[in-house]
Amino acid sequence: MEYDDYDKLIDEKIKENGIYLDIFEKELKKAGLAKNTINRHISNIAFYINDYLLYYSIVDMKNGMSHIDEFLSYWFVEKAAWAMKNSIISNIGSLKKFYKIMVEKGFADKKDYEDMLMIIKREKDSWIYECEHYYDDYDEETNYEGVWDILK
């Protein structure tokens, strides 16, 4: 596949995902959530479906529930500068709300949603632990002076 063709597919998928994000936002407003809470959920889900699910290959939103373990155990901590315990918990809440609504609206499979909930229950503590200890091997004594000069 040509690079330009792949970019077009990504753009189409982001546009499609925008429809799901709009539905999600409307449902959150209907539920009476505060504007800041809605914005946080939308931001979390947009990052998941438009960045993570399209990073390695093009994964449809409806198939995204089976990728949550890799996302929260590694990718999110590696790629998101804001990754910490509270952001892991926030993403879990957003993913649960988002996919519950997608199931209710017929855009995702109920069995996949139930499987995702089981994965969350089983792995949540592990994801938090990995996030909190991601930089444990970082050596503060290492002198990185001059590294930027080399990389120029």
- Domains held by the chain: number: 1
The answer to whether residue 140 is domain-embedded is: no
The answer to whether residue 143 is domain-embedded is: no
Tokens 């077009």 sit at which residue?
A: 8
The Cα–Cα gap between 24 and 129 comes to: 29
The amino acid that residue 79 corresponds to is: K
The answer to whether residue 150 is domain-embedded is: no
Q: pLDDT tens-digit profile of 69-122? A: 999 998 999 988 888 999 999 999 999 999 999 999 999 999 999 999 999 999
Range of the structural domain that residue 116 is part of: 3-134
Q: pLDDT tens-digit profile of 40-68? A: 999 999 999 999 999 999 999 999 999 99
The answer to whether residue 145 is domain-embedded is: no
